[in-house]
Amino acid sequence: VHQSRQQQTEGSRSSSARYSTKQKQQAPATMSMNPFRLAGDMSHVFSIIVLLLRLRVAKNAQGISVRTHELFLVVFVTRYLDLFTTFYSLYNSVMKVLYIGSTASIIYTIRYQEPICSTYDKAQDTFLHWKFAVAPCFVVAALTYFFGNGFSDFDLLELLWTFSIYLEAIAILPQLITLQRYREVENLTGNYIFFMGAYRALYIVNWIYRSYNEPFYKHHYVVYFCGVLQTLLYADFFYYYLKSKAKGGKFSLPTAHTA
């Protein structure tokens, strides 16, 4: 469910390509669904459901990084401000509200809801996300925006959309670092992260499919770069996750000495 300010795009966390003004005038009002986009969206939704289920059933937040979800909340809020300006489709609007609401709920549960908040270990979730994720991504987004658009006709929502693309690419880092410190990964936590990574991988296939089958499609290389980077961050996790599933044993991440 992701739009740049110039086009309607996906139904999940990331966007793919933009339309020029002329192309937008010629393009259909909503983007057609394809099986890869739908599978990516459903994988993303399922990852959220799995995490909420894990918190409710286990009644603890061990191994979960609230900082990753704070980053994702920033991503969604800055990307989906067009909820107040443009209606694309009911599906699009519902997915945007779902992502914002569910992420805010996860943060509230981990930080404030007993007994779950008492099990959240701040000492293991120490990535300085405002300093090393939000601030650098905003600087890079500003440079990208002004380099590509100049200083005339400044569009704040377009700048924030670009910022959200960069930030989403690295938002999973605090979670991966937290799991590395715990080493042993609880089953539902592992499933949650796997489906998050699968959603991104499916969206890459979706972009390829759209480039061959969708009229008015225009490549957006910032989105491609960030999407591939985000998928690569999951690669090591995927390897050990699938290895543990194949062997049927506990899912543990290696230390620097055992990797």
Kindly give, in sequence order, each residue whose CB lies less than 8 Å from that of residue 60, ignoring residues fewer than 6 positions away: 115, 116, 119
Residue range 30-77, pLDDT digits in tens: 456 889 999 999 999 999 999 999 999 889 999 999 999 999 999 999
Confidence of residue 151 (pLDDT cuts 50, 70, 90): confident
Give residue 98's pLDDT: 96
Beta-carbon-side half-sphere exposure of residue 249 (alpha carbons within 13 Å): 7
Which pTM does this prediction carry?
0.85
> What are 10's strand-pairing partners?
2
What is the arithmetic mean of pLDDT over 95-112?
96
Are 120 and 126 in contact by the 8 Å Cβ rule? The answer is no
**Is the bond preceding residue 136 a cis peptide, omega within 30 degrees?**
no
What sign results for the dihedral spanned by CA atoms 36, 1, 79, 88? positive
Range 210-213 contact pairs with CB under 8 angstroms and sequence separation of 24 or more: 210/16, 210/17, 210/34, 210/37, 211/17, 213/34
